[in-house]
Amino acid sequence: QKEVEQNSGPLSVPEGAIASLNCTYSDRGSQSFFWYRQYSGKSPELIMSIYSNGDKEDGRFTAQLNKASQYVSLLIRDSQPSDSATYLCAVPVLDTGGFKTIFGAGTRLFVKA
C-alpha cells in the first residue's frame, strides 16, 4: 500500500524563526506533491505544489523536493502565530482501486509569540 509519512509533532518554534516540515512517500512513480494547511476545526486548504526536484518559493513558503530520496519538505520563514496549524503532505498516486490523492497524518505546528 502506498504511503505518505510525516512527523506528527507538535513542532514548536518562536515567532520569526524558520519552521521546517518534512514528508516522505513510498511511490517512486509519484510526480506531484502538495502541501495543505488545516486550521483547527477547519478544512484543508492548498498552500503549495511542487513537481520538479529543487526548491519552489512562494512568499514566506518554500517547498523542497528530492525525488531520489523520496522526500519533500516545507519551510516557513519568519513564522507567525497565524501559521499555527496542521500541515498535510499530499501525493496523487495510482493504487489498487484506482487513482487517488493520499495524505500524511499531518504535522502540528505551534508558533509562539
One symbol per residue from 58 to 87: x for binding another protein (CB under 8 A), - otherwise; what is it?
------------------------------
Helix H or strand E segment including 21: strand 19-25
12 vs 32, which CB is nearer to another protein? Answer: 32
Among 52, 53, 66, 101, contact with another protein (rule: CB under 8 A): 101
Upper half-sphere CA count for residue 89 (Cβ side, 13 Å)? 29
CA 22 – CA 14 distance, rounded (Å): 18
Alpha carbon dihedral 5, 91, 83, 56, in 10-degree steps, equals 110
Among 25, 34, 64, 73, contact with another protein (rule: CB under 8 A): 34
61 three-class SS: strand
- Residues near another protein (CB under 8 A) are 4, 6, 8, 31-32, 34, 36, 42-46, 49, 51, 88, 90, 92, 94, 97-106
